[in-house]
Chain A
Amino acid sequence: MNTSRQHRTEFEKEALPHLDALYGMAMRLTGNERDAEDLVQDAVVKAFRFFHRFESGSNIKAWLFKVLVNTFYNTIRKQRNINRLHTEAETDGHLDLFLSAATTAGRNAETDLLDRLAAQEIQAAIEQLPREFRLAVILSDVHDFSYKEIAEILECPVGTVMSRLHRGRRLLQKRLFDYAVEQGYVRPTADGTMTDFETYRRRKEGA
């Protein structure tokens, strides 16, 4: 009894400091508080059951994330026939629009454009990414996991992590750019290139 309590105390000491991070990730996976809480609880209990397999000294946060993602996938795999995932991947296309804006409007136009996008707009665009891209981007950008750790968490090769990150980020850029055009932050010019709205307006007045 005593040893089992020690075992649990040790686990709690290691795992519970990561509860906020786990919950944040669970919220991004499930999209609602209730399922996120269930998911965190299930994952932590599962991690505890398999704690003896965890090599002490290695990264427990990465391991907990792996269990969390795994638990989540087991759940949706079961529901897949009901809830088809609306995550069909889009083709790349229009990828370099931000950059082509730069060639006409000066080097920093694209970063200026980024400045105009609000955090909510970026969050919304991330939420719309296909799940596997979104996971890779969040694990890398928010949680600072290395490619190797992400590969472990998502149970895929490092090369796959790289391509998911690459495609995820590009897709995100494309969507944000489309959004910026929609909002009038940038306008297409007659020759089809994109440029900063102010530049566009000035040019139009001059013409």
Chain B
Amino acid sequence: MDCKEVQGFLHAYLDGEFDEAERVAMASHLQVCDECGGQLRFESAFRRKVRDSLAVEQPAPPHLVARVRGALSRVEVGKPAESWTIRGLRWLIPAAAAATLLVGVVVSRRRDEPPREALAEYSIQWHRRNLPLDVQATTPGAVRGFFTDKVPFAVRPPVFRRKHARLVGGRLANLREHEAAYLTYQVDGRRVSVFIFDPQALDVQQVQQGIHWRRLRGYNVALFSSRGTGYAVTTDMEPEQLGRLVSW
């Protein structure tokens, strides 16, 4: 083996992918070549370092075993797996609803869509009222920190990738009887309201797929969910502007 080959396969060698004959060929080159030997020492030290740094993984929380077992016990065996039922609603299905998975899909498809309409309506009301804020903060971290012990889900303030976009602050809000986070932004001199809510609590599972647009009384609302959290973004901007905004 020459240096080029050796260096090309250094990772494979260290990862234990070589068979005996290959290993011997590699080792004999490494013994005589300082350059490759140095690389090998470094790569192997680096590998060890990465391994050690990552070794401390959090174990699964104790309740997860029970939760998974519970979900398994509700799976009906013998029926062919209908992957679309899993895939379609997966991210937002509460554990308790897993048992009614099949039913749930049918129902949520047939059901008309009042939760979504109501959500758009609420968002506009809140946007219009422009109530005083509980927290004035311009960094997502500070706003997130404020909500940590106030709502039962993680508030991740979106970061709009626009030059003139600024987080102003937020306040605790209610959507029906559920706690939600209301945030307000200034974007290009316009006010933008963002509702962040728990889609499981709100029974707005439909929101999960893609973005849903609503135009009501001169306002545009974009509804969607991301990483298990629901968002409703409201502004009086044009739909195209709002569209660019929510593609963060």
Contacts and interface: CB of A to CB of B under 8 A. Distances in A.
A183 interface: no
Nearest to A26: B60
A37 B67 contact: yes
A32 B72 contact: no
A41 B71 contact: yes
A40 B52 CA distance: 24
A4 B42 contact: no
B52 A119 contact: yes
A51 to B, nearest CB: 9
Interface residues on B, range: 35 or more
B213 to A, nearest CB: 13
A102 B225 CA distance: 49
A131 interface: no
A38 B228 contact: yes
A130 B64 CA distance: 28
B54 A35 contact: no
Contacts of B145: none
Interface string A14-30: 00100111111001001
B50 A172 contact: yes
Interface string A111-150: 1001001011011001000000000011011100011000
B50 A83 contact: no
Interface in B1-48: 11-12, 15-17, 38-39, 41-43, 45-47
B197 interface: no
A11 B71 CA distance: 13
A96 B177 CA distance: 58
State the majority secondary structure of interface residues on A.
helix
A94 interface: no
A63 interface: no
B69 interface: yes
Given A23-B58, A23-B60, A142-B51, A79 B226 contact: yes
B224 to A, nearest CB: 5
Given A99-B39, A111-B42, A44 B68 contact: yes
A195 interface: no
B67 A41 contact: yes
B51 A141 contact: yes
Interface of A: 4, 7-8, 11-12, 16, 19-24, 27, 30, 32-35, 37-38, 40-42, 44-46, 48-50, 71, 74-75, 78-79, 81-84, 98-99, 102, 107-108, 110-111, 114, 117, 119-120, 122-123, 126, 137-138, 140-142, 146-147, 162, 165-166, 169, 172-173
Interface of B: 11-12, 15-17, 38-39, 41-43, 45-47, 49-61, 64-65, 67-69, 71-73, 75, 77-78, 81, 83, 86-87, 90-91, 93, 95, 98, 153-154, 208-211, 224-228, 246-248
Top 5 A-B residue pairs of the complex, sorted by shortest distance between their CB atoms:
A24-B57, A23-B60, A49-B81, A122-B53, A119-B53
